[in-house]
Structure 1
Amino acid sequence: MSVSPFLQSIHEFVEDKKLLDKSGPVIVGVSGGADSIALLHVLKSLGYSCIVCHCNFNLRGEESLRDRNFTRQIAFEWNLPFEEISFDASCYAMTNNVSVEMACRQLRYDWFEEKRKQYRAQAIAVAHHRDDSVETLLLNLIRGTGIAGLTSMKPRNGFVVRPLLTVSRKDIESYLSEHGVSYVVDCTNLESVYIRNKIRLQVLPLLRSINPSVDHSIYSSILNLREVESVYKAAIHEQEQNVLEYKGEYIYIPVEKLKQLPSPKAFLFEFLTPYGFVSEQITEIISSCGGISGKVFLSRNYRIVKDREYLILESQEREEAGTVVEKIESLEECGTLLHGNLLYRCLDNDETYCFSRDKSYACFDLDKLVFPLIIRRWETGDRFTPFGMRGSRKLSDYFRDKKYSLIDKANALLLCSGNTIIWILGERAADGYRVTVDTKRIIEFKYEK
């Protein structure tokens, strides 16, 4: 049995892009419209095991119910499993302060992913085609975009695959007509309410009057830009390896190395966008590189701190200044604190005890300590009396003299006896609790970062 050129082109596209195989079922998003019905018919004809999944967003009254009933009937006639869900998309959009379009997208893909896991499906197939890719490019240009936006829709995005990207809407309608397959028409697709519809109904017809082959020209440009993007991403990846410094939970970007890159802004855009930073912020971050330390830039879950010689990326999930990390009501003869990072032992003061000069160690007169001992973060206004000095000084001044970065200061932990700071963990101890010849019992701490 011969395969039509339409089916053959999709089969070759799926094989070339490694979108699907016959190893497991495929979740197929089906609205009842021409595109999704064609996708379902094609995948079934090519021998894939399909699960029909339909979302009712309750936005078009009786028409929404019509689409649902039609899709269920198609699944029944083609002997395919049918799953459905009903959403109040308008309420979701209002509650989450997003557009109705974005609400539908979020609800749809979250549910598709649930179904994929339930059926252990290999992928989620959606019906975007070549015309959709052209419209998306124009939409991205209108909104402003980088090279990723210029490459429009990808054949694969995680578990989501787009087998129809190689064919046009006109090809799809011809295929359905040849096979006598019916579908429903969404009346809102004929309205110029949404930006995408305006592009489809007004902008593209105007462009076609200038160049009848404009759809093909734009799609060819998309394919060319994808090749350019692969080179671009490889260069960005190489720059990341040469520039970024990973220190525990923090990522350091040396300002001088950043300035030496061919395009610091492009580098930061590609690196920081996945962390939730937007283009306007990245412009401000670049400007801050020539300024003083201390400026902070926030995304939803991350922050960039401008330090002396670095931009430092960190998560916002950290304790506030002054936060008590651990409270110690009493101590055994020996043990650990801070989840094993702070070791201690109590011992008699005799001539056999040897004081360590290592800053990770600190020892105090045990009988002078006031319980509970507190381990906390530092906060503005903290003062302590460093070992060997008579007067107290601000911790902020001490940190400045020691050239602490903003991250180092934020991470500094203090051991306090009552309200008195007796040790900056891993750094310097205070003077008032020193071991003397009159000390009977010593408590020794060792801090392991």
Structure 2
Amino acid sequence: MLNLLTSYIQKEKLFSKSDKILITVSGGIDSVVLCELFRKAKFNFGIAHCNFKLRQKESDEDEQFAEALAEKLNVPFHTINFNTSTFAKKNKLSVQVAARQLRYEWFEQISEQFKYKYIATAHHADDSAETFFINLLRGTGIAGLHGILPKQGKIIRPLLFATKNDIIEFAKENKIKYREDSSNASDKYLRNKIRHHLIPALKDINPNFQSTIAESINHLREVESIYRKSINKKRKSILKEKDGKILISISELNKAKPPAPYLFEYLNPFGFNSSAIENILKSLDQSSGKQFFSGTHRLVKDRDLLIIDTRIKKPEAGKEKTKNHFIKKNQKELIVDGMKLNFKSFAKTSSYNLNTNNTAANIDFDKLKFPLEIRTWQKGDVFYPLGMKGKKKLSDLFTDKKLSLDKKEQVQILTSAGKIVWVIGIRMDERFKVAADTKKIYFAEQV
């Protein structure tokens, strides 16, 4: 088994003999066997153990065992205690996800502090097969079907060449002592259900299941490599980033045949699952304005774009928050959400030429009541567009201007005593325009 280990490390280019490796040790048979193999190979390594405080006395005994193992092997020992249940509740995570997050963050800290080049886990071929079926059931796409990878950044898995039976036989032959985790016997977790029920059934159907699934996983890795190249090749033409938002071109996406896998790969990192992505695909030929939400992001379907931003919570109907800013009579400038506005007032002269740019407003000063107010627009807002006699809803104005939902949400309005003076950057109100009898001009400009 030692020869198989060293051959696998060389084949997968996991590390060189001079590298310092941190082995994550639970005290179970897999991690203890990995330590013994590393000892036999004379690799430079240390042991890290996490006590998650989930099994009371048993957890403490695991920690004591790991420390004794490190002492026996004469290697550095690192340990930490976590209040995993409290962390899981506070962050609204499952205990499994919380434990994973805690341990890998700590492993990273230890590797940096003590100069370990790689972090080795004791995952083996059976673990990889179980992961394959977990991901298949969860619908994670082709990325989930490659099983556990031998190397991901600083994480290495030197035991993936071995089956659980190989590890058990090695432990017996070398009279290796290890700890039994009582939670492994429970069917509480999906992995254990697959391990205890699905895998044995598949082995009954195909006695060579282990080698068959390993071969299939290797083929899927090769297929994934080709798939990734195609996805990444199209990425530049389909997906752009602008002003902190992700923009996906619908026309370019439709050129990709079929578009579904491309959209899945581009949206999945933002928390959109298969069901949501299927609904987004159906919306591509529908009118704009529809919104979709993942746990962390929002996607807006615009005319030719899918716009993704990090607005976490969908606002409740009628409870949209407005931001209000007040302007005093002699105030010269104001910055609102990154937009700068300058203000000045002066006597009207016959030689003055009105600035007709939409980024500026020429206002009759005497028609204003201070303080003025700048706020985000709301549904139901009405104004009298400059040059028109009647009133108009802002929502209708935005439709005429073909503003995307994303742009609509950014619109600010200048008001006086509750009346709209200027839809900033778009259009002024007729009631506040500079007329023949205007004596003083209030000039507002977006810069």
Q: In the alignment, is residue 267 of structure 1 matched against residue 262 of structure 2?
A: yes
Cα gap change, 1:258 to 1:75, in 2 (>3 Å): same
* Aligned-partner SS, 1:5: helix
The structural deviation recorded for 1:229 is 0.8
**1:445 matched to which residue of 2?**
444
**2:369 matched to which residue of 1?**
370
CA distance in 2, matches of 1:194, 1:371: 64
CA distance in 1, matches of 2:4, 2:208: 20
Cα gap change, 1:47 to 1:378, in 2 (>3 Å): farther
Q: How does 1:131-146 map to 2 (within 5 A)?
A: 131-146=126-141
The structural deviation recorded for 1:235 is 1.2
* Aligned-partner SS, 1:221: helix
Match of 1:109 among 88, 104, 108: 104
Q: In the alignment, is residue 324 of structure 1 matched against residue 319 of structure 2?
A: no
**1:337 matched to which residue of 2?**
335
Residues 5, 158 of structure 2: 8 Å contact kept: no
Deviation digits for residues 244-269 of structure 1 (CA, Å, limit 9, x no counterpart): 35443333334444334312222221
Match of 1:77 among 72, 79, 86: 72
**2:356 matched to which residue of 1?**
357
* Aligned-partner SS, 1:136: helix
Q: Match for 1:272: what amino acid?
A: L
CA distance in 1, matches of 2:92, 2:412: 40
CA distance in 2, matches of 1:282, 1:19: 39
Residues 120, 155 of structure 2: 8 Å contact kept: yes
CA distance in 2, matches of 1:369, 1:242: 49
Q: How does 1:198-277 map to 2 (within 5 A)?
A: 198-277=193-272
CA distance in 1, matches of 2:49, 2:2: 28
Residues 6, 175 of structure 1: 8 Å contact kept: no
Cα gap change, 1:121 to 1:440, in 2 (>3 Å): farther
Q: How does 1:34-53 map to 2 (within 5 A)?
A: 34-43=29-38, 49-53=44-48
The structural deviation recorded for 1:270 is 1.0
The structural deviation recorded for 1:388 is 1.8
Cα gap change, 1:322 to 1:447, in 2 (>3 Å): farther
CA distance in 1, matches of 2:324, 2:15: 49
CA distance in 1, matches of 2:424, 2:340: 11
Q: Match for 1:403: what amino acid?
A: K
Cα gap change, 1:391 to 1:20, in 2 (>3 Å): farther
For structure 2, the 5+ residue unaligned runs are none
Q: How does 1:154-193 map to 2 (within 5 A)?
A: 154-177=149-172, 180-193=175-188
Deviation digits for residues 290-315 of structure 1 (CA, Å, limit 9, x no counterpart): 33333221112211122344332222
Residues 296, 312 of structure 2: 8 Å contact kept: yes
Match of 1:12 among 10, 17, 24: 10
* Aligned-partner SS, 1:212: coil
Residues 343, 446 of structure 1: 8 Å contact kept: yes
**1:383 matched to which residue of 2?**
382
The structural deviation recorded for 1:191 is 4.6
Quick check: 216-225 or 250-259, which moved more? 250-259
CA distance in 1, matches of 2:375, 2:21: 53
**1:153 matched to which residue of 2?**
148
The structural deviation recorded for 1:212 is 2.9
Match of 1:68 among 41, 63, 67: 63
Q: Match for 1:407: what amino acid?
A: D
Residues 322, 379 of structure 1: 8 Å contact kept: no
Cα gap change, 1:390 to 1:142, in 2 (>3 Å): closer
The structural deviation recorded for 1:209 is 3.4
**1:284 matched to which residue of 2?**
279
Cα gap change, 1:376 to 1:21, in 2 (>3 Å): farther
**1:423 matched to which residue of 2?**
422
Residues 17, 44 of structure 2: 8 Å contact kept: no
**1:129 matched to which residue of 2?**
124
CA distance in 2, matches of 1:356, 1:20: 71
CA distance in 2, matches of 1:71, 1:186: 13
Q: Match for 1:306: what amino acid?
A: K
Residues 372, 417 of structure 1: 8 Å contact kept: yes
CA distance in 1, matches of 2:207, 2:190: 22
Cα gap change, 1:58 to 1:245, in 2 (>3 Å): closer
CA distance in 2, matches of 1:78, 1:207: 39
Q: Match for 1:171: what amino acid?
A: D
Q: In the alignment, is residue 399 of structure 1 matched against residue 398 of structure 2?
A: yes
Q: In the alignment, is residue 432 of structure 1 matched against residue 431 of structure 2?
A: yes
Quick check: 143-152 or 171-180, which moved more? 171-180
Q: In the alignment, is residue 303 of structure 1 matched against residue 298 of structure 2?
A: yes
CA distance in 2, matches of 1:43, 1:287: 53
* Aligned-partner SS, 2:63: helix
* Aligned-partner SS, 1:403: coil
The structural deviation recorded for 1:161 is 2.7
Quick check: 219-228 or 240-249, which moved more? 240-249
Deviation digits for residues 320-364 of structure 1 (CA, Å, limit 9, x no counterpart): 8462253323444x4453346323444443345332332222222
Residues 412, 423 of structure 2: 8 Å contact kept: yes
CA distance in 2, matches of 1:8, 1:155: 13
How many residues end up aligned between the 2 structures? Answer: 442
Cα gap change, 1:59 to 1:337, in 2 (>3 Å): closer
Q: Match for 1:162: what amino acid?
A: R
CA distance in 2, matches of 1:432, 1:159: 66
CA distance in 2, matches of 1:110, 1:19: 21
* Structure-1-length-normalised TM-score: 0.87
* Aligned-partner SS, 2:135: helix
Measured on the aligned residues, the alpha-carbon RMSD in Å equals 3.0
Quick check: 148-157 or 90-99, which moved more? 90-99
Deviation digits for residues 132-179 of structure 1 (CA, Å, limit 9, x no counterpart): 101211232334341111111122344433232233333334444555
Q: Match for 2:6: what amino acid?
A: Q
CA distance in 2, matches of 1:206, 1:415: 70
Cα gap change, 1:432 to 1:110, in 2 (>3 Å): same
CA distance in 2, matches of 1:97, 1:162: 29
Cα gap change, 1:252 to 1:92, in 2 (>3 Å): closer
